[in-house]
Amino acid sequence: MSSVAVIGAGLVGCLAALGLSNRGYDVTIYELRDDPRKSHNKNLRSINLAVSDRGINALRYVDPTFAAKILSKVIPMSGRMIHKYNGELESQQYDLHGKSINSIDRSFLNEELLNEVESKGISVNFNHKLSSVNLDSAKPLLRFETLTSPVVNVDFVIGADGSFSKVRQELQKFVRMDYSQEYIDCAYLELSIPADEEGKFLLDKNHLHIWPRSSFMLIALPNIDGSFTSTFFAPWELIESLNEDSKILEFFQKEFPDSVKLIGKESLLHAFHHHPKGKLLSLKCNKYNYEDKVLIIGDAAHSMVPFYGQGMNCGFEDVFVLLELLEKNSDHLKKSFDEYTRTRHEDLLAIVDLAIGNYKEMSHKVNSKIFLIKKKIDFLLTYFLKDKWLPLYTMVSFRSDIKYSKAVATVKKQEKVLNFIQVIVLLSAAFGSFKIAKLFRKN
């Protein structure tokens, strides 16, 4: 069977390696960093991700037993918990039928994937930074920056080396690749809400907590140790202006009063002074392959801002789509890679754009009465029309059988109906005459 070099031992690279190895390919992984499982590399902060249907579907496709092991360590979140200025809490369920997205520790997931990769006999070469890929030769020729500068020949390369992908850069020399990237004016800072003295959660653990404040917001996701990983998202100018203890405390006390007690003053100040402030990048490209020699997947092919919780889920789905194509095309690599580029592109465009759109929803629309009325109508139509009407969030997060692009096309049609009903509801409410208005008057 063909030999493959997977570049990047992140979440997506590891899953791709497992899936390809299961199909009989001779897989080797090359990773720029050191082994994250070594104790001196351990990150003491837990950073978590929401894994949802597309990610779970891909994990199960690759290995149902491994998927079950991972899913036993997640915390289901059935909705958003909105923290208002006045301290009031409002739960907004994600799905009418109670489906949840799931909070998981990112390092735990990466380490488990690495353990699984090694248990299958796949070799992982840490501290191997890819420096070039030559595609002029019959087989791709890879060079790495290490003490011995090894040169490696393989049948094909899977680039899963993240947003600043070297594989993508090298691919651009050989294919006419459309490429665009945009930094959004938003930085993020990781904070933490510890467990109480008995190790219990200080907030409801089955919600994704949001403090939406229009141009900035705070969110928190639960960890299995009783803590929450919290993230502050704000425009760069604002976050950089919070450069003194008094300014930071004053700002948090005014904007997120309940959070200061939860995070703790010292821990809040420590995070502002010592944690890195992350940039958020949105990146699209097309094509994704060069003949049967290279394919890029995961963040290397489509970085998205994190507001739909789909970056990793979509990267896992890339692996699923690739494995299905290999199956369908009896492992004919060129056919499979070409078809991947042809059929996957519109879905990747759709989710990258949806992710930016969801920033607006999370940071301010969730507070708007009009938005909430629309959500209720959406839920009612879902209830009465069953599978004939599905909210966008449901299609994206809970229905891996619906492609991202199909979800967007469907919701465009549904929007027209929703807007029409919304006008009727608002007019009814204004004149106070129709029964239907009573359904929504509470809001």
Number of neighbours of residue 443 by Cβ within 10 angstroms: 11
Ranges of beta strands (E only) in 178-300 are: 178-193, 207-213, 216-222, 228-234, 278-286, 289-290, 294-296
Nearer to ligand FAD, 345 or 374 (CB): 345
**Residue 22: CB minimum distance to ligand FAD, A:** 18
Strand bridging mode 75-77 / 101-105 = antiparallel
Measured from each CB, the residue nearest to ligand FAD is 10
> CB neighbours (10 Å) of residue 52?
26
Minimum CB separation from ligand FAD for residue 36, in Å?
A: 8
Q: Which is nearer to ligand FAD, 105 or 378 (CB)?
A: 105
Nearer Cβ to ligand FAD (290/316): 316
Q: At what angle do helices 333-363 and 404-431 cross, to 10 degrees?
A: 20
Alpha helix stretches (DSSP H) within 224-367: 236-241, 245-255, 257-263, 265-274, 311-328, 333-363
Pick 2 or 125: Cβ nearer ligand FAD = 125
CB within 8 A of 231, min separation 6: which ones?
188, 189, 190, 191, 218, 219, 220
For residues 258 and 101, what is the distance between their CA atoms, to the nearest angstrom?
A: 25
Question: What CA–CA distances, in Å, run from 332 to 251, 287, 326, 336?
Answer: 58, 18, 7, 6
Q: Which two tokens stand for residue 291?
A: 């003949």
CB closer to ligand FAD, 300 vs 333:
300
In the block, which residue shows the tokens 């420096």? 131
What is the three-class DSSP state of 139? Answer: coil
- Least distance CB 70 / ligand FAD (angstroms): 13
- 194 backbone dihedrals φ, ψ, rounded to 5°: -75, 165
| Least distance to ligand FAD, CB of residue 382, Å | 23
Query: What is the four-CA torsion angle of 64, 65, 69, 75, rounded to 10 degrees?
Result: 20
Residue whose CB is less far from ligand FAD, 104 or 262: 104
Minimum Å gap between C-beta 35 and ligand FAD is: 11
Q: Could you list the residues that contact ligand FAD (CB under 6 A)?
A: 7-13, 30-33, 49-50, 129-130, 160-162, 166, 188, 231, 278, 298-299, 306, 309-313, 315
Q: Least separation, in Å, of the C-beta of 209 and ligand FAD?
A: 14
Nearer to ligand FAD, 32 or 152 (CB): 32
Mapping DSSP to helix (H, G, I), strand (E, B) and coil, where does residue 153 land?
A: strand
The nearest distance, CB 166 to ligand FAD, in angstroms, is 4
Task: Give the residue from 189, 171, 191 showing the smallest Cα distance to 179.
Answer: 171
The least distance separating ligand FAD from the CB of residue 161, rounded to whole angstroms, comes to: 4
Cβ(276)–Cβ(204) below 8 Å: no
Q: Minimum distance between the CB of residue 389 and ligand FAD, rounded to whole angstroms?
A: 26
Of residues 270 and 275, the one with the C-beta less far from ligand FAD: 275
Provide the minimum distance between the beta carbon of 92 and ligand FAD in the complex, in angstroms, as a whole number: 17
Give the Cα separation of 16 and 293 in Å (integer).
16
Residue 32 vs 81, nearer CB to ligand FAD: 32
What is the C-alpha to C-alpha distance for residues 371 and 422, in angstroms, rounded to an integer? 10
User: What minimum distance in Å lies between the beta carbon of 189 and ligand FAD?
Assistant: 10
For ligand FAD, the closer CB: 19 or 422: 19
Q: Which is nearer to ligand FAD, 300 or 425 (CB)?
A: 300
